Amino acid sequence: MYTSKKIQFARLIIFIVSAGILFAGSAEAQQRNDPRATVQKFSSMLQLINYYYVDSSDAVRLTESAITGMLKELDPHSVYLSKEEVKKANEPLQGNFEGVGIQFQLFHDTILVIAAVPGGPSDKLGIMAGDKIITIDGEEAFGKKVTNNFVMERLRGPKGTKVNVGLLRKGRSGLIDYTIVRDKIPLNSVDATFMLDNETGYIKLTRFARTSLTEVRESIASLRKSGMKNLILDLRNNSGGFLDIAIDLSDEFLPADRLIVYTEGLRSPRMEFKATSRGNFEKGRLIVMVNESSASASEIVAGAVQDWDRGLVIGRRSFGKGLVQRPFTLPDSSVVRLTTARYYTPSGRSIQKPYDAGVEDYFADLTNRFRHGEFVSADSIRFPDSIKYFTPSKRVVYGGGGIMPDVFIPFDTATSSKYYTDLWRKGLLNEYTINYLDGKRELLLNAYPDVSSFLKHFDTGDEFLNEFVAFAATGGVPEDSEGLERSGREIRYILKGMIARNLYDVSAYYEAISPVDHELMQAFEAIKNDVLFRKLSIAM
């Protein structure tokens, strides 16, 4: 019972603090919202709880709950991060972490090494894909207790520290013991770089991290050596990252002095960010792919490319996250990421979608879009004339939240089936891949020494598919002729891609599945369409 009372008091604090945040519009209002009075009121409430509450209380937890409650009253993206959460939140964007340098997955309650990060400490010791980690610092590392957090807590750690692991390797009896000295491990933000044909390059960027610009430049240089003239930049499911990296990446495509984005808020004067003369791909056809999970920095790039007629945006309407968060460090090293401004595209469009209906409704937006049919039909989207804007070539673009693509690509429903969904749900595609490679890895690498030879010659014909279907049946998904008719081609390519990823790298996976990525194939067709690009070339 006293636990519920604590919660009630926490809610009371949240209410009191939230109620005190009002915009000053008159002398009376300013007096009513005197910061000193607000702080005193909050302190008094904590003292009352400390002196008179029926049970012991946690002032730190109550304060954090109050801060979280205040931020929820503001907007969906102002957040509080404890000292411990700050490091975890920043890690994917810093471009590196400290640990042993392996990609792993949990397979039948066992830690299976998928790959050692090239040049990392595990790679230097000879730890290989297919190895199973059985012990960590003498502790058994298998069974139901093993989760992703279990592995991360034991294998990640400060550079220079040591961890002892016992590995089980195919063809070797007993455990192989390694002492791994942890080091900085790079986190790549470019997942794939390859040529779709003799002239068209493809880059998949998964986040806007500190290393992203360097990675993209290296990818462009590599593709140019292969003859690239046109580029497809895939920002699907890219939720964003650093603003300055988004600006620098946009700069790669735009001529000098073109406005990329500007920010503005009630207490944040307008700041404009323009392109320089340093761009590495200012000529050549460009397509930016987006979908409903492309947000923030992705939308800045897509908006700048679209507004200046530099290229085409293809896919589905992006998420609509256009609020600028500025981090403020509190005395205990926790951080508040407070929204201070909005992003606007060069034409003046606000990227941010409305959030005045509340946080829950805001984050239910994608579900609502799906229910309204927006993922399968562009006609389901209604734009009022008040949010209509024009590019230099007089093309119409729309504000109101997110970036609406120039070419809409519906969500693929033609090849999906219950059979295919069940295979994913039960993890059988991945499980088959691991079983298939067990004992065959060296044989396959000898037969296919590089990605190109594997993609060209590895056979996924009827015999291969039939073996998988039989395997899936033993795993609880019986053969379904109708499902195979609809999804058989996708299953072949996905399996081939998973094998390629395990043998080579993640880029090989995307290259292998590209023929059944119907959105990418439509973008590939669009980049060869002279009619679509004619207006753009006139504008530029």
- Give the CATH number, domain containing residue 160: 2.30.42.10
pLDDT of residue 15: 40
Residues 307 and 334 in one domain: yes
Q: Which letter does DSSP use for residue 117 in this model?
A: P
**φ, ψ for residue 215, nearest 5 deg:** -65, -45
Domain end position, chosen among 376, 411, 446: 411
Residue 297 has pLDDT above 90, yes or no: yes
Q: Taking Cα atoms as reference points, which of 132, 139, 144 lies closest to residue 105?
A: 132
Helix (H) or strand (E) holding 324: strand 323-329
Number of structural domains found in the chain: 4
Please tell me which residue in 204, 321, 353, 496 is annotated as part of the active site: 321
User: Is position 480 annotated as part of the catalytic site?
Assistant: no
Token pair for residue 247? Answer: 């600006």
Q: Which residues contact 405 (CB under 8 A, 6 or more apart)?
A: 290, 312, 313, 314, 315, 316, 317
pLDDT of residue 23: 39
Of 159-163, 198-202, 410-414, 416-420, give the lowest mean pLDDT range. Answer: 410-414
Domain end position, chosen among 156, 186, 216: 186
**What is the percent of the chain where pLDDT is above 90?**
55
Name 167's bridge partners: 133, 176
pLDDT of residue 21: 39
pLDDT of residue 263: 95
Residues 422 and 407 in one domain: no
pLDDT of residue 18: 41
Please tell me which residue in 234, 248, 307, 517 is annotated as part of the active site: 307
Residue 90 has pLDDT above 80, yes or no: no
| Residue 526 within any structural domain of the chain | no
Domain end position, chosen among 128, 155, 186: 186
Q: Which residue blocks in 142-195 are alpha helix, DSSP H?
A: 148-155
| Residue 254 within any structural domain of the chain | yes
pLDDT of residue 435: 87
| Residue 102 within any structural domain of the chain | yes
Answer for the pair 423, 429: CB distance below 8 angstroms, yes or no.
Answer: yes
Return d(Cα 457, Cα 448) in angstroms, integer. 8
| Residue 7 within any structural domain of the chain | yes
pLDDT of residue 136: 95
**φ, ψ for residue 305, nearest 5 deg:** -60, -45
| Residue 78 within any structural domain of the chain | no
Angle at 388 between CA 385 and CA 390, to 5 degrees: 145
Q: Using pLDDT thresholds of 50, 70 and 90, give the confidence band for residue 17.
A: very low
Residue 378 has pLDDT above 60, yes or no: yes
- What pTM did the predictor assign? 0.82
Of 19-28, 215-224, 444-453, give the lowest mean pLDDT range. Answer: 19-28
| Residue 130 within any structural domain of the chain | yes
pLDDT tens by residue, 172-212: 888 999 999 999 887 789 999 999 999 999 999 999 999 99
Q: Taking Cα atoms as reference points, which of 539, 516, 518 lies closest to residue 312?
A: 539
Q: Which residues contact 437 (CB under 8 A, 6 or more apart)?
A: 130, 444, 499, 502, 503
Residues 266 and 393 in one domain: yes
Distance of CA 231 to the CA centre of its chain: 21
pLDDT of residue 98: 86
pLDDT of residue 452: 96
Residues 389 and 325 in one domain: yes
Residues 406 and 305 in one domain: yes
pLDDT of residue 365: 82
User: Is position 189 annotated as part of the catalytic site?
Assistant: no
How confident is the model over 488-509, as a mean pLDDT? Answer: 94
User: Is position 65 annotated as part of the catalytic site?
Assistant: no
pLDDT of residue 479: 95
Residues 176 and 199 in one domain: no
How confident is the model over 163-179, as a mean pLDDT? Answer: 88
Average pLDDT over all residues of the chain: 87
Residues 19 and 154 in one domain: no
Residue 351 has pLDDT above 50, yes or no: yes
DSSP-based three-state secondary structure for 267: coil
Residues 235 and 107 in one domain: no
Residues 440 and 406 in one domain: no
DSSP3 helix / strand / coil % (the chain, rounded to 5): 45, 20, 35
Return d(Cα 75, Cα 357) in angstroms, integer. 10
Residues 488 and 389 in one domain: no
Name 142's bridge partners: 110
**Chain length of the chain:** 540
Return d(Cα 540, Cα 536) in angstroms, integer. 6
Token pair for residue 31? Answer: 């007096």
Longest dimension (CA), the chain: 81
Answer for the pair 250, 279: CB distance below 8 angstroms, yes or no.
Answer: no
Q: Which letter does DSSP use for residue 514 in this model?
A: G
Residue 129 has pLDDT above 60, yes or no: yes
Answer for the pair 323, 355: CB distance below 8 angstroms, yes or no.
Answer: no
Q: Using pLDDT thresholds of 50, 70 and 90, give the confidence band for residue 96.
A: low
Return d(Cα 425, Cα 430) in angstroms, integer. 11
DSSP-based three-state secondary structure for 112: strand
SS3 string of 385-450?
HHHEEECCCCCEEECCCCCCCCEECCCCCCCCCHHHHHHHHCCHHHHHHHHHHCCCHHHHHHHCCC
Answer for the pair 168, 134: CB distance below 8 angstroms, yes or no.
Answer: yes
Residues 276 and 331 in one domain: yes
DSSP-based three-state secondary structure for 138: coil
Q: Which residues contact 67 (CB under 8 A, 6 or more apart)?
A: 80, 336
Answer for the pair 100, 120: CB distance below 8 angstroms, yes or no.
Answer: yes
How confident is the model over 26-50, as a mean pLDDT? Answer: 74
Please tell me which residue in 78, 296, 487, 507 is annotated as part of the active site: 296
Residue 108 has pLDDT above 70, yes or no: yes
| Residue located via tokens 């403020």 | 328
| Residue 265 within any structural domain of the chain | yes
Domain residues for 371?
190-411
How confident is the model over 425-450, as a mean pLDDT? Answer: 90
Residues 332 and 475 in one domain: no
DSSP-based three-state secondary structure for 80: strand
| Residue 181 within any structural domain of the chain | yes
Return d(Cα 526, Cα 312) in angstroms, integer. 9
